[in-house]
Structure 1
Amino acid sequence: MRTLVLGGIRSGKSRWAEEMVAGEPSLCYVATGAAADADPAWAHRVAEHRDRRPASWSTVETTDVAALLRVRPPTATLVDDLGGWLTAALDRRGWEDGSVAADVDELVDAVDGFTAPLALVSPEVGLTVVAATASARRFTDELGTLNQRLAQCCEQVVLVVAGLPVWVKPTKALN
């Protein structure tokens, strides 16, 4: 079961995803955020996430999510979050004119082929004003496209608003 968990900043999407997978016997938590060395506020957010994780979960800090999903034994996995992954891809390819299409294709293919339970946490950027800067518009455009592609290959899509799930694509009952 692949689940895309969308939500705004501080919507509770990460916590909701963590609760969703909490019953898995083993779990790999994939953290995609940048190191928090220079920014105390960011370091505090990262620490909050780390402190919530059970000691039994393994943690991998990487932005090469596709490679990890392809080589990992089929173990339940939570990726938090795809905004960090996209930022790293744009940093590598170039914010002004570099294409992340191949990176997106690679990630979507890896997600589509992943056979263990998978939760993908991603910011929902489509509920706000159009950004004033070119780089922010680029980020929202690319993330919107990524979220749409992942929603197609995930069995479930949920939007978390104020900590509550709104099911966008619930699992279909088997007849």
Structure 2
Amino acid sequence: MGLRLIIGGARSGKSARAQALAEAQAQRRGGTPVMIATAEALDEEMRERIARHRAERGPAWRTLEAPLDLAAAIAGLAPEDCAVVDCLTLWLSNLMFAERSLAQETDLMLEAADHALGEVIFVTNEVGMSIVPENALARRFRDEAGRMNRRVAERADEVEVMFAGVPLRLKP
């Protein structure tokens, strides 16, 4: 249907931008905005963060939790849905800790997105524009995130980067 990527740094406005686009698109299509959440409430801070995000979105949103099986969540979208996947970098860390094949899971996710009946807006963090991390796991995460983001951007119809709340179109 349609695939969009919104990338940027922490607190750059990525999620707010994606949610506004999804709400507008779902309204045009007569559908429901869908949040495909990759976060898991593993500690109190994350539970509070998730609760705050749900409250901010409000009752019009349907939420699907997909900390690992993102492809299945995307494949289940209805034609009138517009989904926000928030966020790919958290999904990547979930896959790394579960010791899943990152390339294979990314292939499955991209295949599902290519064949999705509804529109999909991916949110991801740009983590490679700063200092080189000091430990091997953090360097691996940075490298894998860069590879994944590049693959998603190649497949996306539209790509935006957020800087200080301002969207800049990269593609088309």
For residue 85 of structure 1, the aligned residue among 78, 83, 91 is: 91
What residue number does 1:56 align with?
60
For residue 132 of structure 1, the aligned residue among 131, 134, 145 is: 134
What residue number does 1:20 align with?
21
RMSD: 1.5
Paired with 1:79 and 1:116, the residues of 2 have a C-alpha distance of 12
Paired with 2:86 and 2:101, the residues of 1 have a C-alpha distance of 23
Return the TM-score normalized by structure 1.
0.87
Question: Could you report, residue by residue, the CA deviation over 1:29-77 in whole angstroms, capped at 9, with x for unpaired residues?
Answer: 11101214x243x333323321211311101111211111123322211
Paired with 1:32 and 1:158, the residues of 2 have a C-alpha distance of 21
Question: How many pairs were matched up?
Answer: 164
Paired with 1:61 and 1:99, the residues of 2 have a C-alpha distance of 20
Identity in percent: 34
Q: In the TM superposition, what are the counterparts of 1:1-175 in structure 2 within 5 Å?
A: 1-23=2-24, 24-25=26-27, 26-36=32-42, 38-40=43-45, 42-63=46-67, 64-74=69-79, 75-93=81-99, 99-170=101-172
Return the TM-score normalized by structure 2.
0.88
Unaligned runs of 5+ in 2: none
Helix, strand or coil at the partner of 1:34: coil
Which residue identity lines up with residue 33 of structure 2 in the other structure?
L
Q: Are the equivalent residues in 2 in contact too, given 1:30–1:79 (CA < 8 A)? A: yes
Paired with 1:131 and 1:47, the residues of 2 have a C-alpha distance of 31
